Structure 1
């Protein structure tokens, strides 16, 4: 039975193929997963990752770019791009813990990265993205709590006004 790491490995290969122009990758993804012995829950997991990453590709790329520092996104290697996109998708759109996502990206970078510093580069970009996402999520949650509290307070005040009459 395949592991989630193997599922992610298959997904980055398909994201790489998609980036090279194979826009029909979703149509053949399940059969490709079968060939790689990725079945059942792991296949569903892999397909959701692939579909989610492709569907949200533009927003994922936009989220990655600010954390590249002195790198130009278009000049990144294809596999590095695929690993970053998958990692960013998981950080931004799934409940998988960021340390797990980043560790998986580092391991995939060691296997497929074009340079020795690829794992460190992937770690830096995804860690910065994760921290920014956590901060944004916390601020949104705090705002939601504050808004809910104000709505509740307003409703209580209005109830009290109704009793005074």
Structure 2
């Protein structure tokens, strides 16, 4: 069974694929099966992914308010996906903010640029304070 961290990795990958124009329903289902995301974890994945997409404009506005030098469209696709996931979890789920931010930092270390962990931490911490 997949861990919640693995689910979050998949969500970042799905958001990345969506931004790159390659994410389809068939791709999503095949990807989740390949990653062994099933049953309750698949439901968790679907809920988070659908929630992010349904609130994408609001999430982007909230994140853009916290970005000092750049806007969301100016940063890397992976970092943008991590920030969207983190912002959604902070604003719309019961998951503790510290857990969300820690998970986002870990995702940034694994999937993002060298400066991504510090950047993601700063933006999500500012968002949490709102």
**Match of 2:123?**
125
- 1:6 aligned onto 2:6: yes
In the TM superposition, residue 23 of structure 1 has moved relative to its aligned partner by 5.5
TM-score, with structure 1 as normaliser: 0.75
Quote the RMSD (CA, aligned, Å). 1.3
**Match of 1:95?**
94
**Match of 1:144?**
none
For 1:10 and 1:38, the matched residues in 2 are separated by 9
Q: 1:6 to 1:23 in 2, by over 3 A?
A: closer
Between structure 1 and structure 2, the one with the greater Rg is 1
For 1:38 and 1:63, the matched residues in 2 are separated by 30
Q: Which has the higher contact order (CA 8 A, sep 6+)?
A: 2
**Match of 1:19?**
19
Residue deviations 1:52-106 (CA, integer Å, cap 9, x gap): 1111111110010011111232110000000000000111111111101000000
For 2:127 and 2:94, the matched residues in 1 are separated by 15
Structure with greater proportional helix content: 1
Give structure 2 stretches of 5+ with no counterpart: none
For 1:72 and 1:19, the matched residues in 2 are separated by 16
In the TM superposition, residue 28 of structure 1 has moved relative to its aligned partner by 4.1
Q: Is the 8 A contact 1:105 1:123 kept in 2?
A: yes
For 2:49 and 2:30, the matched residues in 1 are separated by 14
Give structure 1 stretches of 5+ with no counterpart: 133-165
For 2:31 and 2:72, the matched residues in 1 are separated by 28
Tell me the matched-pair count. 130
**Match of 1:107?**
106
